[in-house]
Amino acid sequence: MKWTLNVNKSKSQVVHFRGSRIIQSNFKFKYGNSGLDTISHFKYLAVILDEHLTLNKCSKTLSESVGRDLGVIWSKFRLMKNVRVNSYSKLYETGVITILDDYGSGIWGYSGNNYSETIQNKAIRYYLGVHNFTPVPALPGEMGLLNCKYRK
């Protein structure tokens, strides 16, 4: 059973990190004279740690952020005409991959979620102009990109 204490000037909180089969403690902790609130997740250096240490919330939050960045790349892509694959790949690598795969991947490594694969497949499908039902294994090879799990 592990506990982490986060003390701010405005509020004091504690997270009970535990396995998924272990129930949360009902014990009321105090810091000085004030009580501590039990929270389900904790954000530290832009990495969100939930109470079961699954890191799903963190990777989902990063993928949502990267989805917005991908929208910015697409708007730039629409303004320019005849963009080659090298230029689009460079925009994708600098604007998306650095956040989605590189940021924090040393902490969570390769986890079972597929948020990064979904974002990458969206970006490749948009550039190639193919349908959503195009087979996934062929997509990264067409752009010369690695799969996300190999890049991590």
The total number of structural domains in the chain stands at 2
Give backbone dihedrals phi and psi of 9, rounded to 5 degrees, phi first: -70, -30
Locate the DSSP E strands across the chain.
2-7, 12-17, 30-31, 34-35, 37-39, 41-44, 47-50
Give backbone dihedrals phi and psi of 79, rounded to 5 degrees, phi first: -70, -35
Are residues 64 and 36 part of one domain? Answer: no
Please check whether residue 143 is in contact with residue 89, taking contact to mean a CB–CB distance below 8 angstroms.
yes
Please check whether residue 103 is in contact with residue 58, taking contact to mean a CB–CB distance below 8 angstroms.
no
Are residues 141 and 113 part of one domain? Answer: yes
Are residues 143 and 81 part of one domain? Answer: yes
CA–CA separation, 139 and 51 (whole Å)? 36
Asked whether residue 21 carries a pLDDT value surpassing 80, the answer given is yes
Are residues 97 and 72 part of one domain? Answer: yes
Are residues 106 and 90 part of one domain? Answer: yes
pLDDT in tens, 56-71: 787 778 778 888 888 8
Please check whether residue 36 is in contact with residue 13, taking contact to mean a CB–CB distance below 8 angstroms.
yes
Asked whether residue 79 carries a pLDDT value surpassing 60, the answer given is yes
Are residues 118 and 98 part of one domain? Answer: yes
Asked whether residue 46 carries a pLDDT value surpassing 80, the answer given is no
Asked whether residue 121 carries a pLDDT value surpassing 80, the answer given is yes
Partnered with residue 17 across adjacent β-strands are 2
The predicted model scores a pTM of 0.67
Are residues 42 and 11 part of one domain? Answer: yes
Are residues 90 and 144 part of one domain? Answer: yes
* Residue span of the structural domain in which 31 resides: 2-50
Bigger pLDDT: 121 or 16? 121
Are residues 112 and 72 part of one domain? Answer: yes
User: Which residue, among 149, 58, 140, has the nearest Cα to 109 in the 3D structure?
Assistant: 149
pLDDT of residue 113: 62
Work out the average pLDDT over 124-139. 85
Tell me the average pLDDT of the chain.
Answer: 77
